[in-house]
Structure 1
Amino acid sequence: MRTVVLLGNRDTKRTIYFEKAARQNGLPFLFLEWEEWRRCGFPADSELFVKIDPPVWTDGHLSGLNDLVASYRSDLRALEKEASVSQFLNPPRTLMELLDKTGCKQALKEAGLPITQSLGEGIGDSEALLSRMKDMRILSVFIKPVSGSGAAGVTAFRFQPKTGRMAAYSCAAFDQAALKPERSSAFRPPLINTKRLHTITDPAEILDFLDSLLSLGCIVERWYPKADFQGFSYDLRAVCQDGALDFLLARLSKGPVTNLHLNNHPLDASRLALPEDVTSTIKELCRRACCCYPGLRSAGIDILLEKGSLKPRIIEMNGQGDLLYQDIYDKNEIYSHQVRMMKAWLEQGGTL
């Protein structure tokens, strides 16, 4: 018997709005929580089409995110071996490859796609970071934990070697609750995600913060001046499904970090009135990025447009970037498109 399965987490917006789309489109499906699947596996004697939703991060400590991603990778490896699954919305192997932010950017670069420039590997502390920035003459960078989710740990950093002046902007901060009287003065509390942007200008404080952040494992990239609209800088979140652009959202911010988790301003990208050639380039860029990963049916792609030229560059690619509040609270088209793909498989008996 053919069965559509959503493997995920109960009472999340992902589950609620996928279920809403399934109900509106007449798609019966089986919901399995992660723990239930780990304990019992998939139904026997069924041919399955499975959508995998990511685990929920509830810890708040950035080191906990590393642990969560490691556990998720283990689950994905196990899912690869599930013989009863004939189709995945996004295959486990592809999701694992997209979790590797450095490897993903390298794959896109090798395909000839424009990406944000990396400062390379081996940057494990503030000393190494400053040295690399001086050598490459790149004085403004973004630092992102390799296991990052949303804006967790994302930090914008500027440095002036001649004056020694620095500034860092981040939603991460030291967990002051971890400081106890019996701790030594050398104790450095863990970093937590505060979900709001902080500005740090004291060099000693910044270097201490960067040492903790970089010790978690990070990628460091050039900070490009972004295009602006009505006094806000912005980048774009594209959701591509079946190789075509389904949704394009501008993320506007007065600060350097545009993630919508930080109460920034979403805007339908059509209101930017971008030149037609820029829009066409973005669509082709997304199509080619998805082609780098055979079997990938749904992807979220973050794109910046350089200030002035509007040249697009891929910031990041996510195999599970399909949750956009601006869509689910409106037409819910992204999940509806997924449901239609699954319903076609269920009813027609053909491969997708």
Structure 2
Amino acid sequence: MTGAARVRFAVVGNPDNRRVALFADAVRAAGLPTPRVLGWRDVLRGQFGFRPGEVVRIDSPGEDPQVDSLLRGPGDPTRVEGGARWYARFTAVVAELAGAAVGAGARLLDDPADIAVMFDKRRCHARLAAAGVPVPWAAGTPRSPVTGWDDLRARLAAARVPRAFVKPAHGSSASGVVALALGGAGRVKAVTSVETAPGGGLFNSLRVREYRAEREVAALIDALAPDGLHVERWLPKAALDGRVCDLRLVVVGGRATHAVARTSRHPMTNLHLGGSRGDLTRLRAAVAAAGGSWADAVAAAEGAAACFPGTLCVGVDVLPAADWRRFAVAEVNAFGDLLPRLTGLPASGAEGLDTYAAQVAAVLRGEAADAAA
């Protein structure tokens, strides 16, 4: 029997999640049995059920209100608060399921320690910076947290940073992110998708809004701070067709295989907030015309992924500078591979494959190499 024929996949995920379905499609397209799905609802209750020899992919626990309640307690799933509790519970369970998988003779594609760092933006930034990956200036660490608005203003003033992104340390999908600009004479502007309810609670919405009154911005930052904040310099981004632009590169097995340009009229380029896919060919042409190098963007993404060697696939957010000649890494996402209908970059080894098929192919190549050895 070949190495490929022996592979049996399992996925820890929400059964109705699109990501799980796309990965299952990729596995079946490779001629392998449909992966078993171990639901997060069961896993969070300690029901693991791994089998010997399985290759286990950990997928996102998002988009399920019951799972969200198990992770950060009862409440509206759209609320912003509760990230610290979510993180503590999530990372503890990931460590438990990893131990159960190893004990059962299964193999994980995602390292629990890597996941723990990626889901703390402060720790992730520090790891990237220590490895020489280009990253923006940042403030806030677990040992020196940003405690609120007054502390934030003082740190930005000391560093002479008038514009910054303020991000919940454990957030995702732009939840709670604030693009902050400070001017003279006490002027302030905060751009965010956070909506403040009459009772003071913070909720995510699909509408990006501006706050210009300092008392409102201060209340917003003070409400976000207890869960932990990561603050990074707001680098001027390049523009494509008059819209700010950044990149998501997916790195599989250490190699950048897929890339998408994301453009927006707002500082946040997330598609659910009105961002859209840009023309990657035109973006690469703009880089070349400015005397920059696409290889530098790829190197930044692959350098970031190399900081997480125990994880097969990561999504890296790369920021092109306004002059198109420099690139910096904003974030590394453990579950950043949802790029439907996108096939691999030329000469990436993933031509004609989506992000999930590329991961399956990488696993099969590893199995074949092990069998040959």
TM-score above 0.5, yes or no: yes
Displacement of 1:348: 7.2
1:142 maps to a residue whose letter is F
Q: Which residue of 1 aligns with 2:47?
A: 40
3-state SS of the aligned residue for 1:300?
strand
Cα deviation, residue 271, structure 1: 2.4
Match of 2:170 among 128, 147, 150: 147
What SS does the corresponding residue of 2:139 show, helix, strand or coil? coil
Q: Which residue of 2 aligns with 1:310?
A: 325
CA–CA distance in structure 2, aligned partners of residues 245 and 345 of structure 1 = 17
Deviations 1:53-81 (A, max 9, x none): 02125411112443333221111110231
Give the Cα–Cα distance (whole angstroms) in 1 for the partners of residues 194 and 300 of structure 2: 31
Is the Cα contact below 8 Å between 1:89 and 1:297 reproduced in 2? yes
Task: Indicate the residue corresponding to 2:219 in structure 1.
Answer: 208
What residue is the counterpart of 2:90 in the other structure?
A: 72
Bigger CA drift: 341-350 or 308-317?
Answer: 341-350
Closer/same/farther in 2, CA of residues 326 and 202 from structure 1, 3 Å limit: farther
Residue 124 of structure 2 is aligned to residue 109 of structure 1: no
Contact 2:7/2:32, CA 8 A, preserved across alignment: no
Q: 1:130 aligns with which of 153, 157, 166?
A: 153
Partner of 1:53: 59
CA displacement at 1:108 relative to structure 2: 1.2
Contact 1:17 1:332 in 2 (8 A): no
| Distance in 2 (alpha carbons) for counterparts of 1:10 and 1:73 | 20
What residue ranges of structure 1 are gaps of 5+ in the alignment? 180-188
Aligned residue type for 2:206: K
2:359 is equivalent to residue 334 of structure 1 = no
- 1:10 is aligned to 2:10: no
Q: 1:5 to 1:226 in 2, by over 3 A?
A: same
Cα distance in 1 between the residues matched to 2:354 and 2:24: 13
Deviation of the 1:349 alpha carbon: 6.1
Q: How many residues align?
A: 338
- Please tell me the residue identity of whatever aligns with 1:174: T
Inter-partner Cα distance in structure 1 for 2:332 and 2:341: 19
SS in 2 for 1:63: coil
Task: Please state how far the C-alpha of 1:343 moved relative to its aligned partner.
Answer: 4.1
- Unpaired runs of 5+ residues, structure 2, are 1-5, 66-76, 344-351
- Provide, for residues 234-284 of structure 1, a one-character-per-residue CA deviation record: whole Å limited to 9, x for no partner: 111111101111111111111211122212111242221122852111112
Distance (whole Å) between structure 1 residues aligned to residue 189 and residue 152 of structure 2 = 14
Structure 2 CA distance for aligned equivalents of residues 26 and 228 of structure 1: 43
Tell me the CA shift for residue 41 of structure 1.
2.1
Amino acid at match of 2:108: F
Q: Which moved more, 1:237-246 or 1:67-76?
A: 67-76
Counterpart in the other structure of 1:184? none
Q: Deviations over 1:217-236 (max 9, x none)?
A: 11111111101111111111
Q: 2:186 is matched with which residue: 164, 172, 194?
A: 164
Percent identity over the alignment is 28
Counterpart AA for 1:11: D
CA contact (8 A) 1:49 1:88 kept: yes
Q: Deviations over 1:269-320 (max 9, x none)?
A: 2221122852111112222222222222101000111112531000011122
CA distance in 1 between counterparts of 2:261 and 2:307 reads 24
State the TM-score, normalizing by the size of structure 2.
0.84
Which residue number in structure 2 is paired with residue 185 of structure 1? none
Verify the 8 A CA contact 2:264 2:275 in the aligned structure 1.
yes
TM-score (norm 1): 0.89
Q: Tell me the distance in 2 between the aligned counterparts of 1:258 and 1:126.
A: 25
Separation (CA, whole Å) in 1 of partners of 2:333 and 2:254: 14
Aligned residues of 1:240 and 1:246 also touching (Cα < 8 A): yes
**Distance in 2, Cα, partners of 1:193 & 1:149:** 11
Q: Secondary structure at the match of 2:156?
A: helix
Partner residue, 1:246? 257
Hey, what's the Cα distance between the residues in 2 that align with 1:122 and 1:265?
A: 34
What per-residue deviation string (whole Å, max 9, x for no partner) do you get for residues 3-56 of structure 1? 311111011111111122222221212221123344532245x22210000212
Once the two structures are overlaid, the 10-residue window that deviates more, 53-62 or 136-145, is: 53-62
Alignment of 1:134-283 (within 5 A): 134-160=157-183, 162-176=184-198, 179=199, 189-272=200-283, 273=285, 274-275=287-288, 277-283=292-298
Superposed CA deviations along residues 129-170 of structure 1, whole A, max 9, x for unmatched, are: 11111111111110000111111011101111x311111000
The residue aligned with 1:284 is: 299
Aligned partner of 2:27 among 17, 22, 25: 22
